[in-house]
């Protein structure tokens, strides 16, 4: 199976009346890893949040299709059940709900009633994946993200990704706030997901994550649009030379969406 | 304000009631004195809740019931409170105003532990009860309801732990208002002598939706130097029962009193939970969770007052309000002059599930000493849409996501209850009340 296809077509998004995305086009096929790069304030995280259905973002124009189905008409949980996953930059803290109960509910939400994951299998899977991510086992019994350090939250997002095994994942600045060792661990977890059918959109403004996860395609966002696309060599050039050459090439003075 | 006294219970009734139970003379006198005072004292005035028209006087005072010989005779709704897997060696079940079942571990008994109904305690341990009964914690003449309580007390528990005795197994009491009009005027007296420790958990239950009655419950917990008392409760009176409940603790040097109160009554309720940290380095952790629904009116006060140096108090109140229910949560951290190096913390949060419901969180810090630390957090709001979004983004439905958040919000008390069955029971009550 070749996996799913996520198509983003001419996507326009507003927050509190201000337009942030001004026509984004992007297609991710199963088996492909895409990186979206760009300086701060160019709309990268907005793209991730709008696709998942964050309540503060309003789509004013365009389409997001998952295997031809209009994602924008779905509730947030339906988007997840259809195969989307977003590893969030700032995951919520939820007191009183253990990480493990939450994870099990999430997995079961993707399964039919009567076909829930057995407790034994769940614990075994979770233990193995926590090992991969070098996570302390007691994190399973802690309340969801409550009192987690920045690094622990990121690992916990990747743990969910690995347990849920979505068709298409979006990783929103999963590298921010991670030291180099943690970054390697997280990258390893993501690389373990790589197969013919899994598609991934990695949002970052640093090249360094891409030293450990090689993208098939790299896109640069400025002013709320994808302004340049290329292969892995594009991210290397950005690392070496920064973004100024693109701005010059395209005649952009201020790359942020407010421009 | 004039107080109308329409009590059907007079001096003669109280005297006969006391004599019928073969109570000691001091108790009879305490009752009669209290009855007299109840005529002149006013009702308490809980902040922002007018209780002047609430039913505190219309009820059946003495309903005799049968004892039970075996726990198998209990209806399912009461069995629900008992762990199936393991025997509960320390258990008292009060059915209306009769002790239906009582057992205590023989080893504990041999060590001098007393766990029995209050009437038996008054007969068998009169001096011990007299020493603590409405002396150090709650006073007869605080207001009309404490006086009425003292005059008409008709049930409850005496739990006494001698010096240096540490009890591992929880002591459990079930108060079953089986009769629709029976009034539980329970007195719970817990005395933990020096360096002893105990965990006690109680359940109140009734099924009188329509028929009206009233419960007037006073609890006194005395923790002597170095003692530790963990007190858990699930209150679940039905809508017909108007409830006044006053749970008060006194902690001496290095003593610890922990409260975990699941206040799940369906009727109008005034609840006070006050702890006096008398001794240096004493400590109290007072947690309450509550749910309001229908047109229920409730008022909760949690107060920790610091007298001892280096005393530490932490109050947590979490309430969920739906339908047209209203509730006031007063959290009071008070540090008296001289209680230096003390710490008073509190958190009051109200989750509103309906726009017709009302919830107030009033955090109050009263500090009369310079060298202390204190803090409070309070919030009233709806389920956080960003939390919902996060859970739903993992495929969890909106309904299930809300459910997880609400159970999580009420978890601080659920998790602290000592008996598995009681935990499960509180979770079920929460589930039933919220959905």
CA A253 vs. chain centroid, Å, equals 28
Q: Which residues contact A257 (CB under 8 A, 6 or more apart)?
A: A19, A20, A21, A22, A41, A42, A43, A223, A224
Distance CA B393, CA B390 (A): 5
Distance from chain centroid for Cα B94: 16
Rounded-to-integer distance, Cα B81 and Cα A186, Å: 46
- Mean pLDDT computed over B403-430: 92
Give residue-wise pLDDT tens across range B306-350.
Answer: 999 999 999 999 999 999 999 999 999 999 999 999 999 999 999
Q: What is the 3-state secondary structure (H, E, C) of B183-234?
A: CCCEEEEEEECCCCEEEEEEEEEECCCCCCEEEEEEEEEEECCCCEEEEEEE
Convert the pLDDT of each residue in A232-258 to its tens digit: 999 999 989 999 999 999 999 998 887
Residue B172 pLDDT level (bands cut at 50, 70, 90): very high
Helix (H) or strand (E) holding A191: helix A180-193
What ipTM was reported for this prediction? Answer: 0.97
Give the residue from A96, A110, A160 with the most B CB atoms within 10 Å of its CB, the best one to mutate.
A96
DSSP 8-class letter at B182:
B
| Residue A2 in this model has a pLDDT that exceeds 80 | no
Distance CA A214, CA A193 (A): 13
Q: Which residues of B touch A109 (CB under 8 A)?
A: 394-397, 400
Structure confidence at residue A207 as a pLDDT band (50, 70, 90): confident
pLDDT at res. A205: 82
Q: Are the C-beta atoms of B259 and B247 separated by less than 8 Å?
A: yes
Residues B238-251: tens digit of each pLDDT: 999 999 999 999 99
CA distance B219 to B222: 10
Range from A64-73, B161-170, B252-261, B412-421 carrying the lowest mean pLDDT: B412-421
In the structure, what pLDDT confidence band is assigned to residue B6 with cuts at 50, 70 and 90? low
Question: B85-95: per-residue pLDDT in tens?
Answer: 778 899 999 99
Is the separation of the CB atoms in B257 and B284 below 8 Å? yes
CB B65 within 8 Å of CB B145: no
Answer whether A97 sits within 8 Å of B408, measured CB to CB.
Answer: yes
pLDDT for residue B88: 87
Closest CA to A87 of A22, A158, A9: A158
Across the interface, do B401 and A79 touch by the CB < 8 Å criterion?
A: no
Alpha-carbon distance values, B99 to B96, B105, B128, B173, B314 (Å): 8, 17, 21, 11, 35
For residue range A5-55, list pLDDT tens digits in order.
Answer: 999 999 999 999 999 999 999 999 999 999 999 998 999 999 999 999 999
**A59 belongs to a structural domain:** yes
Domain for residue A74, yes or no? yes
Whether A31 and A5 have beta carbons less than 8 Å apart is answered as: no
Residue A160 lies in a domain: no
Residues of A with CB under 8 A from a CB of B: 52-55, 75-77, 79-81, 85-86, 88, 91-92, 94-97, 101-102, 105-106, 109-110, 143-144, 160, 164
Taking CB atoms and an 8 Å limit, are A109 and B411 in contact across chains? no
Number of domains in chain A: 1
Neighboring chain A residues of B382 at a CB cutoff of 8 Å:
none
A–B interface: beta-carbon pairs under 8 A:
82
Q: How many CB atoms lie within 10 A of CB B395?
A: 27
The upper half-sphere exposure of residue B308, i.e. CA atoms within 13 Å in the direction of its Cβ, equals 23
Instruction: Report yes or no on A111 lying in a domain.
Output: no
CATH number of the domain residue A227 falls in = 3.40.50.300
10 Å CB burial of residue B435 (0-12, 13-18, 19+) is exposed
Q: Residues in chain B whose beta carbon is closer than 8 A to a beta carbon of chain A? A: 384-387, 389-398, 400-401, 404-405, 407-412
Indicate whether A225 belongs to any domain: yes
Residue A242 placed within a domain: yes
Where in the sequence is the domain holding A173, given as residue range(s)?
5-92+167-250
Q: Give A-chain residues touching B403 at CB under 8 angstroms.
A: none
pLDDT given for residue A259 in this prediction = 61
Residue A47 included in any domain:
yes
Q: Is residue A226 part of a domain?
A: yes
| Predicted TM-score (pTM) of this structure | 0.91
Contact A88, A171 (CB under 8 A): no
Rounded Cα distance between A174 and A165, Å, is: 17
């Amino acid at each position: 199976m070749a996996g799913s296809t996520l198509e983003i077509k001419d996507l326009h998004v507003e927050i509190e009346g201000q337009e942030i995305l001004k026509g984004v086009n992007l297609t991710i096929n199963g088996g492909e890893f895409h990186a979206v790069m760009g300086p701060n304030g160019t709309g990268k995280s907005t793209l991730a949040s709008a696709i998942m259905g964050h309540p503060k973002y309003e789509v004013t124009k365009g389409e997001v299709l998952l295997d031809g189905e209009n994602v924008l008409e779905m509730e947030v949980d339906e988007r997840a059940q259809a195969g989307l996953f977003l590893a969030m930059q700032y995951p919520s803290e939820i007191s009183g709900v253990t990480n493990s109960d939450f994870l099990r509910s999430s997995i079961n939400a993707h399964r039919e009633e009567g076909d829930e994951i057995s407790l034994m299998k769940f614990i075994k899977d979770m233990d193995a994946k926590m090992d991969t991510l070098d996570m302390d086992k007691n994190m399973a019994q802690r309340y969801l993200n409550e009192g987690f350090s920045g690094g622990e939250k990121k690992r916990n997002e990747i743990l969910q990704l690995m347990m849920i095994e979505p068709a298409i994942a979006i990783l929103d600045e999963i590298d921010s706030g991670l030291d180099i060792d943690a970054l390697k661990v997280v990258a390893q977890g993501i690389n373990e997901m790589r197969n013919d059918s899994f598609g991934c959109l990695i949002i970052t403004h640093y090249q360094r994550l891409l030293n450990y996860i090689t993208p098939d395609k790299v896109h640069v966002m400025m002013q709320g649009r994808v302004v340049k696309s290329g292969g892995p060599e594009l991210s290397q050039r950005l690392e070496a030379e920064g973004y100024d050459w693109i701005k010059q090439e395209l005649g952009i003075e201020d790359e942020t969406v407010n421009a | 304000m004039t107080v109308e006294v329409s009590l059907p219970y007079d001096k003669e009734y109280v005297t006969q009631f006391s004599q019928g139970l073969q109570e000691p003379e001091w108790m009879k006198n305490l009752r009669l004195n209290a009855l007299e005072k109840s005529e002149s004292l006013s009702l308490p005035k809980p902040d922002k809740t007018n209780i002047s028209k609430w039913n505190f006087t219309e009820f059946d005072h003495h309903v005799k019931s049968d004892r039970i010989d075996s726990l198998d005779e209990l209806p399912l709704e009461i069995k629900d409170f008992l762990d199936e897997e393991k025997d509960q060696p320390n258990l008292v079940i009060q059915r209306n105003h009769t002790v239906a079942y009582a057992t205590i571990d023989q080893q504990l008994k041999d060590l001098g532990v007393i766990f029995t109904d209050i009437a038996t305690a008054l007969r068998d341990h009169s001096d011990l009860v007299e020493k603590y009964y409405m002396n150090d914690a709650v006073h007869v003449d605080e207001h009309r309801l404490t006086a009425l309580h003292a005059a008409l007390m008709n049930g409850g528990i005496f739990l006494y732990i001698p010096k240096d005795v540490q009890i591992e197994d929880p002591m459990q009491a079930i108060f079953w208002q089986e009769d629709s009009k029976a009034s539980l005027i329970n007195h719970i007296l817990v005395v933990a002598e020096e360096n002893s420790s105990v965990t006690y958990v109680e359940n109140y239950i009734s099924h009188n939706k329509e028929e009206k009655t009233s419960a007037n419950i006073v609890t006194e917990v005395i923790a002597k130097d170095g003692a530790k008392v963990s007190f858990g409760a699930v209150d679940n009176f039905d809508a017909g029962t108007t409830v006044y409940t006053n749970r008060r603790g006194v902690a001496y040097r290095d003593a610890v009193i922990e409260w975990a109160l699941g206040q799940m009554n369906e009727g109008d309720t005034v609840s006070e939970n006050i702890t006096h940290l008398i001794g240096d380095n004493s400590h109290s952790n007072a947690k309450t969770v509550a749910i309001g629904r229908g047109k229920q009116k409730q008022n909760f006060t949690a107060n920790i007052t610091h007298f001892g140096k280096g005393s530490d108090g932490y109050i947590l109140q979490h309430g969920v309000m739906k339908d047209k229910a209203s509730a006031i949560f007063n959290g009071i951290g008070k540090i008296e002059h001289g209680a230096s190096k003390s710490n008073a913390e509190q958190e009051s949060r109200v989750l509103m599930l309906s726009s017709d419901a009302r919830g107030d969180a009033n955090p109050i810090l009263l500090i009369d000493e310079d060298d202390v630390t204190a803090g409070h957090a309070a919030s009233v709001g709806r389920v956080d849409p960003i939390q919902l979004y996060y859970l739903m983004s993992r495929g969890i439905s909106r309904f299930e996501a809300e459910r997880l958040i609400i159970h999580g919000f009420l978890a601080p008390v659920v998790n602290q209850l000592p008996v598995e069955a009681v935990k499960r029971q509180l979770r079920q009550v929460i589930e039933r009340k919220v959905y």
